[in-house]
Amino acid sequence: MANAGMQLLGFTLAFLGMIGSIISTTMVEWKASSYAGDNIITAQAMYEGLWKTCVSQSTGQIQCKVYDSLLQLPAIVQGTRGLMLSSILLSVISILVEMLGMRCTTCMAQEQQQKDRVALAGGIVLVIAGLLALVGTSWYGHRIAKEFYDPFTPTNSRYEFGSALYVGWGAACLTLIGGAFLCCNCSNEGSKRSPHYPPSRSAGQPGKDYV
């Protein structure tokens, strides 16, 4: 069935987006030290994430430190944490809901309209989850770009986009696309008349008696 295939595609994309959001949130390379300029020391590279900071030496040694206090963190880190964690939580709930509402599953098989509504609700929540992840990563990236182009920022203190941002952007897009597929495919069958009922008679057509 084409509808079931489209639902399965949307579910797969949304699931991959959820995994990508989890990976992005746990990665430390949200921003990496920039090497733009003439007087940049390349003996070490600094990375900052949502949970800790790391310093990579040219010898290959990596030292990481977890943030000591939550209240002393910058607002950008706290806000991005909340947005990414909210996105992951909503994605997990939506994936579980979609397992009940998809046409390729046997749960609620006798109630197709209710099944479509459940799938539609899961798709809407997935779209919201993708938007939260997109807002969180874009907000963090905007702050990096703003500080990079700020003439008052010291050259040695400038950062560029880390790999976690690109993973987060890709995950947010997958979640949005998957949720959109699920939303566009759920309510078409509900408006149709059930095949178990006889067709309705026209207003001007006389009825026929059946023996």
For residue 20, give the 3-state DSSP assignment: helix
> 130: number of CA atoms within 13 Å, CB side?
24
Sorted by where each starts, the structural domains of the chain and their CATH numbers stand as 2-31+71-191 (1.20.140.150)
Q: Is 52 left (phi over 0), alpha (psi -120 to 50) or beta?
A: beta
* Mean pLDDT lowest among 23-32, 94-103, 147-156, 170-179: 147-156
Number of H helices and E strands in the chain, helices first, is 4, 5
Mean per-residue pLDDT, 83-89: 96
pLDDT tens, residue by residue, 130-159 = 999 999 999 999 999 998 888 877 777 788
Amino acid found at 205: Q
CA distance 6 to 123: 12
Query: Which range (18-27, 36-45, 99-108, 112-121) has the least confidence?
Result: 36-45
Segment 58-77, tens digit of pLDDT:
777 888 899 888 888 899 99
Are 90 and 129 a contacting pair, CB within 8 Å? Answer: yes
Residue 130 or residue 192, greater confidence:
130
Q: Compute CA distances 101 → 5, 8, 21, 58, 185, whole Å.
A: 13, 11, 23, 52, 11
